Amino acid sequence: MAQPLIDLRLCADGAELARTAAEEFSRRAGLAIGARERFAVALSGGSTPRRLFALLAARDEPFRDRIDWRAVHLFWGDERHVPPDHPESNFRMTRETLLDAVPIPAANIHRIRGEEPDAARAAALYEDELRAFFLGDDPRFDLVLLGLGPDAHTASLFPGSDAVRERERWVVAPWVEKLATFRITLTPAALNRAAAVIFLVQGEEKAAALHAVFEGGRDGERDPDRWPAQVIRPENGEVVWLVDRAAASGLEKRSGS
Ligand code: 6PG
């Protein structure tokens, strides 16, 4: 089967990556709101999105006022199994960098309840919320933001996890052995319904993972169990990779070889 075209945009550094992402985010928000009067976006967690969120929130930048926040619905691609005020919480990171600074209605913030003692129940509750929002059986986010771990995980789809192969449920709560914790994560069943996915990948520590995701192992094989980000292939949507030079170094070496 022909390899899908990869839309990879090389950014000089983290600052350019964040700005490019902010341009994409605000452009796509305008298109979605113009067409359907709403923009449903699933945010990534971790540290990479912080600069993007700060740009979107900044009063001295054009993005904040370009976006009709009343029509934006924010979801998360994954969450840690912690309360929303915990330092590890993806929601807390987003609240601090974005939510406290933009006029988004509280009802439009669809938080994963990481504080729920039973992570599986948190996942089930979130799936209920998604089904209620999407009115049925098609969780078609206008945009999904994803990161990439050094082990090529994305969202909380980690190597060797059953969650990587989940095709029915939209949200699951895998035990992540290497982190000794549960996570709550959207699955490929939900993520691959998106109209657009943008990966944000920054830093030298991601170079090997990015190379593996694009090139596979020595024989170029695809193996999402080893490199979970490979499972992200929207059936009817686009994938854009925003990558800084440091993260792309493995690719550049190969392309230059
Ligand atoms: C999380 C994320 C995770 C993240 C990658 C990259 O909850 O941590 O959703 O998938 O995107 O681990 O994280 P950094 O941006 O911190 O490198």
pLDDT digits (tens, 9 = 90+) for 1-45: 455 567 999 999 999 999 999 999 999 999 999 999 999 999 999
**Which atom of ligand 1 lies nearest, measured to the CA of 205?**
17
Task: Output the pLDDT for position 257.
Answer: 45
Measured in residues, the chain has a length of 257
Task: Output the pLDDT for position 121.
Answer: 98
Most informative mutation of 80, 154, 199 for ligand 1 (most atoms within 8 A of CB): 154
**Which atom of ligand 1 lies nearest, measured to the CA of 203?**
17
How open is the CA angle 128-90-78, to the nearest 5 degrees? 40
Cα–ligand 1 centroid distance for 90 (angstroms): 9
Ligand 1 lined by 45 (C-beta under 6 Å): yes
Contacts of 148 (CB under 8 A, 6+ apart): 154, 199, 201, 206, 209, 210, 213, 229, 247
**Which atom of ligand 1 lies nearest, measured to the CA of 90?**
7
Q: What is the pLDDT of residues 193-224, one digit of tens each?
A: 999 999 999 999 999 999 999 998 777 889 99
Task: Output the pLDDT for position 142.
Answer: 98
Ligand 1 lined by 244 (C-beta under 6 Å): no
Task: Output the pLDDT for position 162.
Answer: 98
The C-alpha atoms of residue 67 and residue 10 are separated, in whole angstroms, by 25
How open is the CA angle 199-138-109, to the nearest 5 degrees? 65
Cα–ligand 1 centroid distance for 148 (angstroms): 6
Helix and strand numbers (H, E) in the chain are: 8, 10
Ligand 1 lined by 185 (C-beta under 6 Å): no
The C-alpha atoms of residue 130 and residue 123 are separated, in whole angstroms, by 11
Please tell me whether residue 181 adopts helix, strand or coil conformation. strand
Ligand 1 lined by 187 (C-beta under 6 Å): no
Q: For the whole model, what pTM was predicted?
A: 0.96
Cα–ligand 1 centroid distance for 69 (angstroms): 25
* Strand partners for 10: 243
Helix H segments across the chain?
Answer: 14-36, 49-57, 63-66, 90-97, 119-133, 188-191, 207-215, 245-256
Looking at ligand 1, which residue's alpha carbon is closest to its atom 3? 155
CA 134 to chain centre: 18
* Segments of the chain with pLDDT less than 50: 1, 254-257
